[in-house]
Amino acid sequence: MTGTTTIAQSLPVTEKPRRTLWREIVKSRWPYFFISPFYILFAIFSLYPVLFSIYLSFTEWKGLGPIKFVGLKNYSLLFKDSVFWDSMVNGVMLFFIYVPLQTLLALVLAVVLNSKRVRGFQLFRTLIFIPNITNMVAAGITFRLLMNQENGLFNILLGMVGIPPVPWLENVWAARISLGLLIIWAWLGWNMVIMLAGLQTIPGELTEAALIDGASHSQAFFFVTVPLMRQVILFALVLSTMGTFSLFTEPLVLTNGGPMRATTTPIMAIFGQAFSNFRFGYASALSYVYFAIIFVLTLIQVRLGGRREA
Amino acid sequence: MTLRTRLVRLGSDVLLYGILIAVSAFMMLPFVWMLSTSLKPADEIFGFPPKLISLRSSFESYIFLIQNYAIFRILLNTFFIAASSTALQLIFCSLGGYGFAKFRFPGQGALFSFLLATMIIPFTVTMVPLFIIMRNLHWIDTYWALIIPWAANAFGIFFFRQYILSISDELLDAARMDGANEFAIYWRIILPIIAPGLTSLGLLSFMGSWNSYLWPLIILKSPENFTLPLTINSLTGPAGRTIYNVQMAASVISVLPLLIIFIIFQRRFVEGIQAGAIRGAG
């Protein structure tokens, strides 16, 4: 008797979850309906491409005709591809040329504007931010004009104070620095606005207390503000890293990747293989290796940056 | 205050203003030069000494653009693409944010984590297959390709979810009691409350679309379908032959609308960027 009751009792228990889950899903039709556009669009325009790209990376395909499976050939070719690896190295060099300077400058400007020592907070913030709304084709061409070696305004202005003409775009290192200058012009304000948001979350009394205790302004900056701003600085750094490696329009317009490919970025290299050489399989393999490297770099940054927090 | 501290104070103020003014001047210089060059006659662009305002200034290069490059059509193309893409993004992202913020449903946690994870996929990885899809759909050289794939995005849903979480449930329950369905609640209660957020995110996505270059470069083929950045770059001639005043005029036309929008909505603009950063960093 006891056995049958147990079975009889357990029956609804085993069936109930499935029925209630189904009922829950039906009951939740509204939220599913509300969130569905993203997942549908993602499946078609991102997930499918991501998977198709993995498949393509093992093939040779010109975009037309049969897709030829070639196994790991693209990946072995890629390791000897100096254009691609040079572009990754360019990314690293560009990062060191402008990211530390930009981050520090953004933080200093934010602290100055936030300190209420200067008037015109709104005006300066606006002026420094405005370049960020400019499209990089217009900005790049304007900089090319300003950086013209013989007649550009930059060299004419430098000439007035006795500095000889700078080959802004003609020399390998000058071109990289010029590109860095364009990016700082475009992104300094954005980084500053981010830092300002971060500063508003830390209480002003902390810095004041440090100053009253006899710390200098620069000590208060490095030992109070910077540690408290750790998360925001890390966020800005991570985005700058990803941004540097995925630069496309800026180097394309300013230097066309030159001179001697000194400013060719990974995206330019991948774009060239895909849409100039029509090597879709090879370009896909490149894009995956690129993704893996950026992913690891970001992970390292987050680990290093978040270490003290954990 | 002693004279010494006053002098130190004055000195540091001069330094601070000096830095701020120098940085601001560097930021403004390209705009000034863009406008100045666009008004100059061709033979004065590289003239020495450089002139800020030429005595022979004219709107000739703007007229040239209207006559030879149908610049109004290009302006309209860019506006149409940016506006439609922004409208769709705002609808789908706010709906998605509402779904995640105010409902409990099976699989919610997993779906949300998945949503956040999608943000790490770089465009580079999807670029080639996406181009193939667009070709199969016959969307090459059409605006569909520039609008539909970007009609909903993870960041936007995340942004609105945070925003809608702070709306009180009682307000929504009261509406439910009155017999309003969930869509009516979204339309009549949620949307008006999140209006500032809609403006913030709308400005950012409008600007993103207006300024985008790589994807339109892959998709658009006929010059009459171009967006402003494509037209500006197409004005680059062979070395030494570029008509810079015309190119700068097109640049002014591409920057000016956003500049006006930015100055009007500056607060919301900055709020949108800061909200994204604080949530991203937090």
Q: CA-CA distance, A275 to A268, in Å (whole number)? A: 10
- B174 phi/psi in degrees, rounded to 5: -60, -40
Mean pLDDT for the stretch of residues B244-252: 94
Tell me the percentage of chain B whose pLDDT exceeds 70. 98
Question: Min CA distance, B5 vs chain A (Å)?
Answer: 14
* CB-based contact A153 B154, cutoff 8 Å: no
Q: Which of A24, A48, A109 sits opposite B23 (nearest CB)?
A: A109
Q: Is the pLDDT of residue B278 over 80?
A: no
Residue B280 binned pLDDT confidence (cut-offs 50, 70, 90):
low
A185, two tokens: 């012009």
B251 and A142 in contact by Cβ < 8 A? yes
Q: Which residue of A has its CA nearest to B282?
A: A231
Residue bearing the bigger pLDDT, A211 or B25: B25
pLDDT recorded at residue A16: 55
Instruction: Pick from A24, A29, A35 the residue to mutate for testing the B interface (most B CBs within 10 Å).
Output: A35
pLDDT at position A8, please? Answer: 45
Chain A / chain B CB contacts < 8 angstroms: 266
Residue B45's pLDDT is what?
81
Residue A107 dihedral angles phi and psi, to the nearest 5°: -70, -45
pTM of the model: 0.91
CA A11 to chain B, closest CA, distance in angstroms equals 23
- pLDDT band at residue B87 under the 50/70/90 scheme: very high
| Closest CA of chain A from B96, distance in Å | 4
Phi, psi of A59, deg, nearest 5: -130, 170
Which residues in chain B touch residue A21, judged by CB atoms under 8 angstroms apart? 106
Altogether, the residues listed in chain A come to a count of 310
> What was the pLDDT predicted at A17?
59
Contact indicator for B4, A117 with CB cutoff of 8 Å? no
To the nearest 10 degrees (0 to 180), the angle between helices B154-165 and B108-117 is: 130
Whether B214 and A126 lie within 8 Å, measured CB to CB: no
User: From the CA of B124, how many Å to the nearest CA of chain A?
Assistant: 6
Is A136 within 8 Å of B98 when comparing Cβ atoms?
A: no
Contacts of B81 (CB under 8 A, 6+ apart): B143, B146, B147, B209, B227
CA of B281, closest CA in chain A: separation in Å?
5
Q: Which structure tokens are listed for B207?
A: 């600007």
Chain B residues closer than 8 Å to A148 by CB: 46
All structural domains of chain A? 20-75 (no CATH), 76-306 (1.10.3720.10)
Q: Is B10 on the interface with A (CB under 8 A)?
A: no
pLDDT at residue B282 greater than cutoff 50 = no
A25–B105: do the CB atoms touch at under 8 Å?
yes
Query: Could you say which residues from 25 to 64 on chain B have a Cβ atom under 8 Å away from some Cβ of chain A?
Result: 26-31, 33-34, 37, 45-46, 48-50
User: By percentage, how much of chain B surpasses pLDDT 90?
Assistant: 67
A70: three-class secondary structure by DSSP = coil
Mean of pLDDT over chain B: 90
Find the closest chain B residue to A289 by CA distance: B125
Q: Specify the DSSP element, H or E, that contains A7.
A: helix A2-27
CA dist A223 and B112 (Å) reads 37
Q: Which residues of B touch A198 (CB under 8 A)?
A: 277-278, 281
Contact between chains at B16 and A117 (C-beta distance less than 8 A) = yes
Query: Which chain B residue has its CA at the smallest distance from A229's CA?
Result: B281
On the question of pLDDT at B2 being above 80, the answer is no
Residue numbers in chain A where pLDDT is lower than 50: 1-13, 309-310
> What is the reported pLDDT for B226?
96
Mutate to test the interface with A, among B89, B94, B95, B128 (most CBs of A within 10 A): B128
User: Per the CB < 8 Å rule, is B95 touching A37?
Assistant: yes
Tell me the per-residue pLDDT of B146-177, one tens digit each, with 9 for 90 and over: 999 999 999 999 999 998 998 888 888 888 88
Q: Give the pLDDT confidence score for residue A6 in this predicted structure.
A: 46
Instruction: Give the model's pLDDT for residue B281.
Output: 55
Among partner residues A42, A198, A275, which is closest to B118 by beta-carbon distance?
A42
